[in-house]
Structure 1
C-alpha cells in the first residue's frame, strides 16, 4: 500500500528558475521540514542519474534514503529515494502561471516494504500534514534564491 500526497503550490519564480532551484535535491533542507540533511553524492552537473543522501526525521526517528534523479524534463522532475523500509517518489510538474510565477504540482508517494507496510494506513494524516508544511515553506525558500 502506498501513501500519496499531492499539493499545487504557487511560487513567485519563473518556471525555469524554479526547476533549476528544485533540481538540486540538496535544497530539500530548505523547503522540506522532514529533511535534516541532504548531500549530493558525486560531482558534476545535475542530470538524470545524479544522487543525494537524504537524512529525514519522521515521528521522532531518523532514517537515510539514497535519492536518484530519475527523470529531468523541462516541465517535470522525478526523484526516487529508497532504503530497506520505504521507496519514496517525489514527482514535480511545473506550469507557468505568468512570466514571474509558476505552479508546481508536488506529488510525494511512499511505498513501504516488509513489516513497515502494516503501519502505512495509520500514517496518512502525518504525511498529509507534511504536505501542508511543504506547501507553506517552498514558496518562501525558493523566493530567497531570486538573483
Structure 2
C-alpha cells in the first residue's frame, strides 16, 4: 500500500473548494494523469455518484470507476477501483484566512500480480502528488 499526502493553501473559500471538488469530472482540469473522467449517473452529485476515469501515469494507461463515498461540508472521499488497483482519495478543506488549507491524501493499493510493482508506485505517485498540488492550486485559485 502506498500513501501520498500534500497540504497546501489556496485562495478559494472552503465551501467553494468542496463544491468544485465533489464533481470528480473536474479531475480533467487538476489531475495530471487524467485524460477523461465521465459521470456514470444523473441527478445531484451525492454519496454514491460514480465516474469512469481514464488515466495515464508513467506511460501506463488505466481505467477506474470512482465513487463518491463521503461528502461533508469540509471533505470529500472518492474510492476508485479496477482489477489491479484500489485508490482512496480524501480531500479535506479547512478555513485559512480568507482561503482554504487543503489536505489531499491518496492511498493506492495494488492487487494481484500488480503488487510486484508496488515499490515503484511510491516513487511515481510522489511525483504525481507534486504535479497534482500545482494543478489544484492553479485551478482553485481561479475560483477565488
Question: Which range, TM-score by smaller chain?
Answer: over 0.9
Q: CA deviation at 1:125?
A: 1.1
Q: CA deviation at 1:144?
A: 2.6
Q: CA deviation at 1:42?
A: 1.2
Aligned to 1:93: 92
Aligned to 2:120: 122
TM-score, normalised by the number of residues in structure 1: 0.95
Q: Where does structure 1 differ by over 2 angstroms across 4 or more consecutive aligned residues?
A: 143-146
Equivalences, count: 144
Q: CA deviation at 1:93?
A: 1.1
Equivalents in 1 of 2:43, 2:142: separation in Å? 24
SS at match of 1:63: strand
Q: Please state if 1:34 is matched with 2:33.
A: yes
Runs (5+) with no aligned partner, structure 1:
none
Q: Please state if 1:53 is matched with 2:77.
A: no
Aligned to 2:67: 68
Listed as ranges, the matches of 1:126-137 within 5 Å are 126-137=124-135
Equivalents in 1 of 2:121, 2:110: separation in Å? 11
Runs (5+) with no aligned partner, structure 2:
none
SS at match of 1:18: helix
Equivalents in 1 of 2:120, 2:103: separation in Å? 25
Equivalents in 1 of 2:136, 2:90: separation in Å? 15
Q: CA deviation at 1:141?
A: 1.1
Q: Please state if 1:110 is matched with 2:108.
A: yes
